[in-house]
Amino acid sequence: MQEVAVYFLHGLAYAGLLFLVSSGLTLVFGMMNVLNFAHASFYMLGAYFAYSLLVYTGNFWLALVVSPMALFVLGALVERFLLRKVHELGHLHELLLTFGLAYIIQEGVKWLWGTNPQAMAIPSFLAEGVNIFGVTYPVYRLFVFGLAVALGLLMALALYTTRVGIIVRAAVDDHDMVSALGIRVPLVFMGVFAFGAALSGFAGVIAGPLLTVFPGMAHTILVDAFVVIVVGGMGSLGGAVLASFIIGELQSFGVILFPKFSLALIYMLMALVLVVRPEGLFGERQ
């Protein structure tokens, strides 16, 4: 019973990370219809920036703030100067561009930081354990999950109560109409893309101490995030919440229940959803 609780908590922490990465991915997809292959690369860059900041300053909190900001700028630049350029060539080219970008970032990271996994240190009070369900559980994992929930709530609050949020949601639904109403949709696109990149980078920073920082980390979470947005429904934030939870727990329990098939389990789920209900749990049928 205790083991079940531990694995459940493990799953929650990973679900939190997944949600932070996939929420930006799903918003961008809903709005621009672009599946951003480089989205998880922002996550990886977030982790590496934080790692370097930690090496030079030793301040985790500084890294937690500065690294997502850097990715916000990078995301804005990518949208403005690369993605927008190929937009007129169609979705295929947009997909290919982000794919190429992910490839370059991957190779660039190997070049600058090497291929060995790097460990990240965390503030001492986060490194301790806390007693729940009669077992000592690392505080840091709870911290990760807590941050994800807090950010998710903030995002929901912003999307559903502020004017900007309303514009963003409207743009996800029908950007032509929003544009016709006199709102600068390209600017909204750029903002959401940059915000998604920052969120992804933030997830990378807090993932670093948990999963170590290595060049394969982008690909690992990218596939999981894809599964999340397929299962949850592309463009649906609520779907991303539920699907992140499902995938997070599936990954966590899959390893102990079906050690041989844990890798395949998640792909089978995605294939099943795409074949049975292609629009996902919360997606709109097109």
Partner 1 sequence: MKGKGSLLRWFWPLVAVAVLVALPAILPRYQLRLVNEALIFSLFAVSYNLLLGYAGLLSFGHAMFFGVGAYTTGLLAGKGAAMPFFGALALATLVTTLVGFAVGVLLLRVRGTPFALLTLAFNALFYAIAIKWSDLTGGDDGLKLFRPAIDVGITQLNTNAHSVFYYITLLVVGVTLLYCWYFTRTSMGRTVLLMRENEERLRFVGYNTSVSRLILFTFTGSLAGMAGSFYALFFSFVSLEAISIDMTTRVLLMTFIGGTGHFLGPVLGAGVYIYLQDFLSDLTDRWPLIMGVLFILIVLFAPGGLSGIIRSATGFFVRQDNAKG
Candidate list 212, 219, 253, 255; residue touching partner 1; CB under 8 A = 219
Residues 80, 184: Cα–Cα separation, whole Å = 14
Cβ at position 205, least distance to partner 1 in Å: 24
Task: Work out whether 73 is an interface residue with partner 1 (CB under 8 A).
Answer: no
Cβ at position 252, least distance to partner 1 in Å: 18
Candidate list 116, 131, 275, 285; residue touching partner 1; CB under 8 A = 275
Cβ at position 89, least distance to partner 1 in Å: 6
Cβ at position 164, least distance to partner 1 in Å: 27
Q: Which is nearer to partner 1, 28 or 147 (CB)?
A: 28
List the one residue out of 181, 165, 180 whose CA is nearest residue 237. 165
Cβ at position 110, least distance to partner 1 in Å: 8
Residues 99-128 contacting partner 1, CB under 8 A: 99-101, 103-104, 107-108, 110-111
Residues 28-67 contacting partner 1, CB under 8 A: 29, 33, 35
What are the angstrom distances between the C-alpha of 110 and each of 91, 113, 217? 29, 6, 12
Residue 216's contacts (CB-CB under 8 Å, 6 or more residues apart) are none
Write down the H helix ranges in 33-162.
Answer: 39-57, 60-78, 84-86, 91-113, 139-161
Q: Are 197 and 72 in contact (CB under 8 A)?
A: yes
Buried b (16+ CB within 10 A) or exposed e, 67-95: bbebbbebbbebbbebbbebbeeeeeebe
Question: Cα angle at 245 between 241 and 249, to 5 degrees?
Answer: 170
Q: Which is nearer to partner 1, 105 or 155 (CB)?
A: 105
Q: Which is nearer to partner 1, 56 or 111 (CB)?
A: 111
Task: Work out whether 1 is an interface residue with partner 1 (CB under 8 A).
Answer: no
Residues 70, 49: Cα–Cα separation, whole Å = 9
Beta-bridge partner residues of 46: none
Task: Work out whether 86 is an interface residue with partner 1 (CB under 8 A).
Answer: yes
Task: Work out whether 263 is an interface residue with partner 1 (CB under 8 A).
Answer: yes
Task: Work out whether 210 is an interface residue with partner 1 (CB under 8 A).
Answer: no
Query: Letter for the amino acid at 109?
Result: V
Which residues form the interface with partner 1 (CB under 8 A)? 29, 33, 35, 82, 85-86, 89, 91-93, 95-97, 99-101, 103-104, 107-108, 110-111, 219, 223, 226-227, 230, 234, 260-261, 263-264, 267-268, 270-271, 274-275, 278
